[in-house]
Structure 1
Amino acid sequence: MIKESQATPPTKKEELYYLSPCKPLNTSLYEDKDNEEDYCAENTYVLQQLAADDEKNELLNATFSLGSSENIDNPHAPLLLTLNAGTDKQGETHQTKFTFICDKDSEEKKKPTFKSYEKGILEVEWKTPHACGEKYGEPDENNGGRGGFTKFLTIFLILILTYLGIGAAYNYHVYRAQGWDLIPNRDFWRDVPYLISDMFKYLARAFHGGRGYSGV
């Protein structure tokens, strides 16, 4: 919320601006039960309340319109957000223009700053670290596959070590095994080198189209 006061002798006018650029305001919080004409309409993003004379609850019903193409080249350039199509009781069209400025040192809960309100256009400036973008470079195609293979190998090794650790603990507590007997499925692992050797021999014969008999 932004509160702006102006001296209008013999009275003092206060302008309250309720801002919600991300989602519509909660309409139930701004209803005036004594005056049916003064209320917060559905899908309202910016609400102006005038506390002077008989004026109150001038609504700015709005839709989003994003802008500023310079953000493509400069990730820290101000982000402009325009809310338009708002109409008051007199049929005058209104706009609300947000300028989000990158400020990494600013507190996240820092309030926006009122800039001006002229001819139905409300201008608000908001310094926030959330407006600071980050420009990413082109991806390195050479590291893409290598990174994926490294992740796969790491996960595979972790699974193997987990399997061996759980199997060794099981053999120790159940069978009181020691030494090489702790290895789970020891006979299988002992035969692994021979299985790999036979597999390569089979692939070699299939690749070269070997025929006939092999020596015994």
Structure 2
Amino acid sequence: MAGTWTLCILFLCILGFFASTISAEDNPCTVWAGDKFYDLTALKSDKDYVVLSPEGRHYYINVCQATKTDLWNPKVDDEGSIAGFTRRDHGDVALGRVNTTLTVRDGDPTMTLTNGSPCPTQDQMHAATVIRFRCDTSITDNGKPMLIAQLPPPADDSCFFTFEWRTHVACPTQPKGSWGVLTVLATIAGILLLAYIVIGSFYNYSVLGLRGLDILPRYSLFSLQDTINFCKICMERIKSRSSDNMHFGNGGMGGWRRPGNGGYRGLDEEQTGMLSGPPGFLDEEEDEEPEHPAENERHAGMDSNGVIRL
């Protein structure tokens, strides 16, 4: 039975570990690349990042959420899903829609925005943008994107954009704790496993008298029944010590006396039997007649002065 419980605990620990890993991968704007973890959620901002192009045009971009600046005629169905845009003479051009799924290219987390506004020269095509985040620990703040390329030329006809964003947020980091149900269960299972090892080792050391590596619990040496027996032994020892203190707390056997009913107070049955002898011993001793007559017993016909009268 103990073996089954131990296997269940180990299974929950392993399941919780994988659950926390999968949960980290499912978080928006996070990605694993081998043993490296990237998290761009810190780049979310209540104010859009503004980029100025060489031609003097402004680009408004946000990360992992829609832009905060009001749009003007972007020619898209859902304006609340636009992740970036640029202003032009006949209306704003949406660079793409919000995307929280990252990819890693050459060690750099990358975000791709698609399904933006229709391209000026080809209405059947829609604007798209690639943002490449580069790890730069010299930048203490979040940094800001920089326009690298826009195609096709000229700028007013561009429909595909590439940005580079240098920031310390793009450096590998550690996943934040994910306390889902499975993770909580795994934590509890780990605590139970640790308690099993500690209690089992103590039981083997104190009760079974094992030493060295033998004190480590094994399936056949520590079970639920063993636990119950161990608790019973502890209770019996406590009761035994309490009983000894009550019986012999006044100087050993000097505290007992014999009451009128023929018993002895302060002693248990075994000690009373040892002191009183076999059953009826004291009663026979009291009823027994003396074998020899008393010295002052007078013969028949003798007066009080010892004179024999006929």
Normalising by structure 1, what TM-score?
Answer: 0.49
More strand by percentage: 1
Greater CA radius of gyration, 1 or 2? Answer: 2
Normalising by structure 2, what TM-score?
Answer: 0.36
Higher normalized contact order (CA 8 Å, seq sep 6+, divided by chain length): 2
